[in-house]
Amino acid sequence: MDIWVSPLRLELAYEFRISRWSYRHRDNVVIRLEQDGLIGYGEAAPNARYDESAESCNAALARLVAVIGDRVEPYRHIMHRVNAAFPGEFAAKTALDMALLDLLGKRLGAPLYEILGLEPRGPMPISLTIGIDKFEMVAEKVREAAPFSVLKMKLGSGTDRELIRTVRRITSVPIRVDANEGWADREHAARELDWLAKQGIELVEQPMPALNREDMVWLKARSPLPLIADESLAGPEDVYHLGDQFHGVNVKLMKSGGILSALRTVESAKSLGMSIMLGCMIESGLAIGAAAQLASLVDYLDLDSNVLLRRDPFEGHPVEDGCLMVQNRPGLGVQPKSDQDFKWMRLEGQA
């Protein structure tokens, strides 16, 4: 098996701001596996919360490849050894996991969702995220988002209510709110939830810091809106500690360490009666296409990051009229638009 990696800078159409930080681009990493004339692709979107960067992902992928070597093994055997050797490195493991499953699907000539025994879904509405910004810019973004039937607003800036009022002057579509741990005081959070419930808000993600567990238990008991865990959740094992704090969870491939790990998180949450959102980091259509393979299992789709880019370097599952159109194609169903978007480097440590 030949294994290559490439840096992938994703430029955003607008500066993206949440309660903690802002940026205009993200540096991801793409891995390419070649075997028997077939190619599998995977993407790592590093998360600074877990001390990940593009550089650390490159280094991690080289170490992962050294564990794999040139042995031809079933997918599960490979990922079992990788997970045993590397308890962290979530984004890098997700990229490798994606590429292996993409390769498997192409070898079998079937889309991944079919291999996983899942049902295909027709057009699926996705929420379009609007970051914290000046009121006039928020208004412009909302007007541009007219094809989307659901919006997601980033809050936690101190101007939350006026941002919502700005949106409500333009549209009455359902709004999902993400505070990104932006409300540190539980009394303040409770007041905001009461107010938001009167504005046609559908749900609220991560209102308080993940470490404020007792406050979240208190808040959930009083909340008029469903509360969804994001920063409080990483892998499947976390779900069982969140039922008294949240009504649902936001599952992201990059925090899970792979597609099957994310699937286990979904199944764990469902067993507890929790609702499921399928979310993303800032990712290209490659990682979005991978996450979309699980779409039939979830209640809310927040797979919009490639729509926020100036240019998506991958193609496969288009967004039409605010809906993700998952195609019936082998593997992840995604291909690069042009090889000029990549600077491929063969990884060391392989045969």
Which amino acids are annotated as binding site, given as ranges?
178, 205, 230
- Choose the catalytic residue: 106, 141, 154, 255: 154
Task: Say how many C-beta atoms besides its own lie within 10 A of residue 200's C-beta.
Answer: 14
Q: Which residues sit in the known binding site for Mg(2+)?
A: 178, 205, 230
Contacts (Cβ under 8 Å, ≥6 apart) of 84: none
User: Cα separations (Å) of 101 from 45, 75, 239, 240, 281?
Assistant: 18, 7, 25, 28, 20
Question: If you ran DSSP here, which 8-state letter would residue 134 be given?
Answer: -
Q: Using alpha carbons only, how large is the chain's radius of gyration in Å?
A: 20
Which amino acid is located at 331 in the chain?
A: G
Q: Is 255 a catalytic residue?
A: no
Name the 3-class secondary structure at 243: coil
CA 202, 280, 144, 138 dihedral sign is positive
Residue keyed to tokens 């990696």: 5
Q: What is the token pair recorded at 305?
A: 């990051």
Through-space distance between the first and last CA atoms of the chain, rounded to whole angstroms: 8
Q: CA–CA separation, 312 vs 319, rounded Å?
A: 12
Alpha-carbon dihedral angle through residues 231, 235, 242, 278, given to the nearest 10 degrees: 70
- Beta strand spans in 144-289 (E): 150-154, 175-178, 201-205, 227-229, 248-252, 275-279
Q: What is the token pair recorded at 89?
A: 């490195």
Q: Is 252 a catalytic residue?
A: yes
Q: Which helix (H) or strand (E) holds 66?
A: helix 54-68
- Choose the catalytic residue: 152, 252, 255, 337: 252
Catalytically active residues are 154, 252
